[in-house]
A and B are shown apart, each in its own frame.
Chain A
Amino acid sequence: MASFVPRSPETLEDQRLYTQARLVEVECLDCLARVGVKKNSEHQTSVQWTAEAQAQCPDLVRRKAAADGARLVHARCPRLAASIEAAVADGRIQIGAEDGY
């Protein structure tokens, strides 16, 4: 059952733009988990995971299993962060926004 149904077809295009456009696939240099990354500026970063990538990241898996994981689970994986930095340094990820997305 659908919910919050947009009335205009352009809204679907907006949803695609903001959630999928310009995501670049980055592979973690350690665990090889593949995520989608976008950087609208030096400081801004979006990371889109998949269930497969989450299961592959030992850091996320460990934190989720921890007794007090409820709060820890939101921290970033430092190895993935380093892998993204490397991808930026290699020029594989272009920094910059395109009309706000």
Chain B
Amino acid sequence: MADPTTQTRTLDHGTQPERFARGWHCLGLARDFKDGKPHAVEAFGGKLVVWENTKGELGVLDGYCRHMGGDLTQGTVKGDEVGCPFHDWRWGADGRCKQIPYARRVPLRARTKAYETVIRNDSLLIWHDPEGSKADYDILPPELPDVSNREIYTDWIWNTVPIKGSHCRELIDNVVDMAHFYYVHFAFPTDFRNVFEDHTATQYMASKGRPDVAGGYGDADMFLKSEATYYGPAYMINWLEVDYKGFITEVILINCHIPTGPDSFLLQYGITVKKPEGLDDKTANFIGKKYADMFGDGFLQDVAIWENKAPVQNPLLCEEDGPVYQLRRWYEQFYVDVADIEPEMRARFEFEVDTTKANEFWQEEVADNLRRIEAEKEASVVEPVETSEGAS
């Protein structure tokens, strides 16, 4: 066999999966679907219709009527059902056609794809499985205590970002990517640890902002303690303790996505802040908005990378990197048939990243940057004088 140290390495782009992950997917805040209208959500290579019935429950069906393919998302909510704009076939949340206003009877085969739904942490979650299994309620993300209590937590700030040209695994890869927090998000990750087990993948990180750059997490006064767990393939809860100039705020960040096509997905993130004692609502909401902007910036920094990078099945790692291969092995369990899930995809795996050397190099680099910035500042003070002399 050829010596790999003298060979040119090539990127293996791999072949993308032909299906979308099995598991719970979050479609957004439940309240956003509760206005008496049918809503369209692009998902799993197609379109879904979401609406509220008379009992306040949300129904989720495939978006296209099984009669002649009318777009149910452009229909009308009638009682508990959604009526198709084409011929007014009325569909119930169980996937059955309940009524065809102009017909003697409804064909027995009038059944469409219905998704099982759950409201969790104020969001609408649906179960998706290419194999068509019943929803697994045992692996729902945990309920966050008091998160719906507006006395204790600020209202959600919820944002969506459509991503084109990237498979959603790019987003998942961030779970293990210690070094990108410095380069992309402008923070020093000082502690970094991963644990994968069953359907969960967790990242623990402590970080502090870089003093030499603004934007993202770049701010020397900002210390983050972050614990982020994916519950299944598409819903992450990130518990954050943000220390800003000694003022500590507990932030909950929901980071979830819906795959929309083979190389596109809709990223969604929601932020709520535990109201600090002694602070009025206005100030608490202001803090919530500030952190939503900060993490929003962070996601956009990632997006800029994803939209331009190449897919890589064979990443080359150095010893400061996190466990990309083990994370992807974990993630693959959601893409294979249940019968084909290998024990090692779900077996517990722990990885502690050594951040010491990396942080030594980065501290030096940042110190250099600060010196250069200082020098440029001094030069720019002198410059106008020279220019004015040159002009006269």
List residues of chain A with CB under 8 Å of any chain B CB.
1-8, 10-11, 14-15, 18-19, 40-51, 54, 60, 70-71, 73-74, 76, 97, 99-101
Contact = CB atoms under 8 A, between A and B. Distances in A.
A73 B200 CA distance: 10
Contacts of A40: 319, 354
A10 B319 contact: no
B204 A4 contact: no
Given A74-B195, A100-B321, A3 B347 contact: no
Contacts of B352: 43-46
B388 interface: no
Given A100-B317, A101-B317, A19 B347 contact: no
Contact of B325 (A7, A18, A97): A18
Contact of A46 (B227, B314, B351): B351
Nearest to A48: B349
B15 to A, nearest CB: 4
B343 A50 contact: yes
A1 B12 contact: no
Interface stretch (B114-122, B330-338, B373-381): B330-338
A8 B195 CA distance: 29
Contact of B348 (A10, A44, A60, A99): A60
A11 B351 contact: no
Interface in B63-118: none
Contacts of A19: 325-326, 329, 344
Interface string B266-302: 0000000000000000000000000000000000000
B16 interface: yes
B46 interface: no
A51 B198 CA distance: 10
Contacts of B323: 18, 46
Contact of A6 (B314, B317, B347, B357): B314
Nearest to B15: A5
Interface in B184-228: 195, 197, 200, 202, 204, 227
Given A11-B14, A70-B229, A100-B319, 7 more contacts: A3-B336, A4-B313, A8-B314, A45-B352, A71-B239, A74-B202, A100-B317
B391 interface: no
A49 B329 CA distance: 14
Given A4-B16, A18-B325, A11 B317 contact: no
B349 A8 contact: no
B369 interface: no
A3 B347 CA distance: 19
Contacts of B350: 45-47, 49, 76
Given A47-B350, A51-B343, A3 B332 contact: yes
Contacts of A48: 344, 347, 349
B354 A44 contact: yes
B204 A74 contact: yes
Nearest to B315: A14
A100 B316 contact: yes
B19 interface: yes
B10 to A, nearest CB: 7
29 contacts: A1-B19, A1-B337, A1-B340, A3-B332, A4-B16, A4-B313, A5-B14, A6-B12, A6-B14, A10-B4, A18-B317, A19-B329, A43-B354, A44-B353, A44-B354, A45-B350, A45-B352, A46-B351, A47-B350, A48-B347, A71-B142, A71-B227, A71-B239, A73-B197, A74-B200, A74-B204, A76-B350, A97-B319, A100-B321
